[in-house]
């Protein structure tokens, strides 16, 4: 059982990619003190994602990786990579040179093929590399497992499936892992979002169904309604197994320090986050949809529904504008 803390990556969505190197060093040092297995660093959409369309980072990913590496002693430093957004030469290799030893190579749930070259290069370098399938609710569990099979064939040590829209229920997670374990011989993991306040329940079912890697963050700090809160989850696991060696009290103490500092605020599953989850819309779209709905004077609920119907994914923020324009025209 391993845990990845993505406060410093998925949490970057929540603070508009504004982490400073000093903030990264401070948080990474504390996460390292509770011996979390992997500390993930960088832009919310992964290395190289800083852009006008997706969101500009205040500091370059490499500056943040260096800051983490300077203080971390036991945890692995990890990064999230989407081929096509990140390149091996300009983004991934320099990060490895700065101390990254764990890489997630991610794709949309139907596009595992795009990860082949990146995974194979990293495997050849003896870097621990896992595949990641985003927006996993968009295809049936068996088809998702077949995409994961491709990542296994490329050499990935495991595959994590992302509930990017926070739309899964425990039975969904159980069904996916049943298919994974039927078709795969490598490990599996789960990345939850909390739109329907099911991140803890879904992650617990994932572990019970054979997943070996669970993602989360301090206070659930992440896109939309947030991720799984790892400190809370550690407490749950310690309650289930009193002999667990998870440092849940120390983790909670660390979380409280940052809540008190004002840097981290509990993400909440408000009305729009729930609507996002029900409609299967990427959690990171909430702020974009609300802003665009206001700009074009259209109903945000209807805009969420249409974005879900059109199966928009991260990187297609510009299409929200087109949908809003069409919605306004049709309602005129």
Catalytic site positions: 13
* 6 token code pair: 């993505």
**224: Cβ contacts below 8 Å, ≥ 6 apart:** 13, 166, 193, 194, 195, 267, 273, 276, 282, 283, 284, 285, 286
Q: What does the alpha-carbon distance between residue 119 and residue 276 come to, in Å, rounded to a whole number?
A: 31
> What residues pair up with 134 in beta bridges, in sequence order?
108
> Residue 137 phi/psi, 5° resolution?
-75, -10
Q: What does the alpha-carbon distance between residue 194 and residue 274 come to, in Å, rounded to a whole number?
A: 9
Which residue, among 14, 40, 5, has the nearest Cα to 267 in the 3D structure? 14
Asked if 73 contacts 37 with a C-beta cutoff of 8 angstroms, the reply is: no
Residue 309 CB neighbours (<10 A): 12
- Give the residue carrying structure tokens 């994974």: 180
Which residue, among 106, 124, 123, has the nearest Cα to 115 in the 3D structure? 106
> Residue 262 phi/psi, 5° resolution?
90, -5
> What one-character DSSP code corresponds to residue 222?
S
Asked if 221 contacts 40 with a C-beta cutoff of 8 angstroms, the reply is: no
């Amino acid at each position: 059982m391993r845990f990845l803390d993505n406060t410093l990556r998925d949490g970057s969505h929540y603070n508009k990619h504004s982490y400073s190197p000093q903030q990264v060093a401070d948080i990474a040092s504390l996460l390292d003190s509770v011996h979390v297995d992997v500390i993930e660093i960088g832009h919310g959409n992964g290395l190289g994602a800083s852009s006008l369309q997706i969101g500009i980072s205040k500091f370059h990913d490499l500056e943040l990786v260096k800051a983490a590496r300077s203080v971390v002693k036991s945890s692995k430093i990890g990064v999230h990579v989407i081929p096509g957004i990140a390149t091996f030469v300009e983004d991934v290799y320099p990060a490895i040179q700065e101390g990254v030893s764990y890489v997630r190579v991610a794709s949309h749930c139907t596009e595992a093929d795009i990860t082949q070259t990146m995974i194979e290069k990293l495997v050849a370098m003896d870097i621990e590399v896992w595949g990641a399938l985003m927006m996993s609710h968009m295809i049936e569990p068996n088809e998702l497992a077949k995409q994961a099979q491709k990542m296994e064939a490329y050499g990935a040590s495991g595959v994590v499936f992302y509930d990017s829209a926070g739309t899964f229920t425990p039975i969904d997670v159980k069904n996916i892992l049943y298919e994974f374990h039927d078709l795969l011989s490598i490990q599996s993991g789960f990345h939850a979002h909390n739109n329907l306040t099911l991140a803890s329940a879904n992650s617990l079912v994932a572990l019970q169904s054979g997943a070996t890697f669970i993602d989360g963050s301090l206070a659930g700090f992440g896109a939309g309604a947030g991720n799984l809160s790892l400190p809370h989850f550690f407490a749950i696991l310690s309650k289930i197994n009193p002999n667990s060696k998870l440092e849940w009290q120390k983790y909670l103490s660390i979380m409280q320090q940052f809540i008190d500092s004002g840097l981290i605020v509990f993400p909440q599953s408000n009305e729009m986050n729930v609507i996002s989850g029900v409609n299967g819309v990427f959690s990171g779209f909430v702020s974009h949809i609300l802003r665009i709905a206001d700009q074009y004077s259209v109903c945000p609920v209807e805009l969420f529904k249409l974005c879900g119907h059109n199966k928009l994914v991260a990187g297609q923020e510009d299409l929200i504008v087109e949908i809003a324009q069409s919605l306004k025209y049709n309602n005129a």
